[in-house]
Amino acid sequence: MKETWFYESIFPSVRLGLKIKETLVSNKSPYQKINILDTYEFGKVLVLDGVVQTTERDEFIYHEMLTHLPMLSHPHPERVLIIGGGDGGILREVLKYPVKEV
């Protein structure tokens, strides 16, 4: 059986390679190419225009940093506006606070 790999160029002489179990989604929207890959080490991986955006294994790091820093900087956050955030990770983290409106 042939192995399938996804490669992202990090620098001209450096590439990140992920061994793929299965390509779950491969579509092109008017804005970007969207791939969702199931990988052996990182679980499901969201790739936009050939660039890894988030993975199941480490997405919490990204979302916690984007959420908890501003939430803890405000004395009593009640209303939160999330712009973008299509994967829902920031919403999940915001809902850990007693906000009134998102």
Whole-angstrom distance, CA of residue 61 vs CA of residue 72: 16
Same domain, 44 and 11: yes
Same domain, 43 and 80: no
Report if residue 99 sits inside a domain. Answer: no
Q: CA 75: distance to chain centroid?
A: 28
Same domain, 42 and 64: no
Same domain, 10 and 29: yes
Same domain, 49 and 16: yes
Report if residue 83 sits inside a domain. Answer: yes
Same domain, 64 and 49: no
CATH number for the domain harbouring residue 14: 2.30.140.10
Domain assignment of residue 12, given as a range:
4-53
pTM as predicted: 0.76
Q: How far is CA 26 from CA 6, 40, 63, in A?
A: 13, 18, 24
Using one digit for the tens of pLDDT, what is the confidence trace for 33-86? 999 999 999 999 999 999 999 999 999 998 999 999 999 999 999 999 999 877
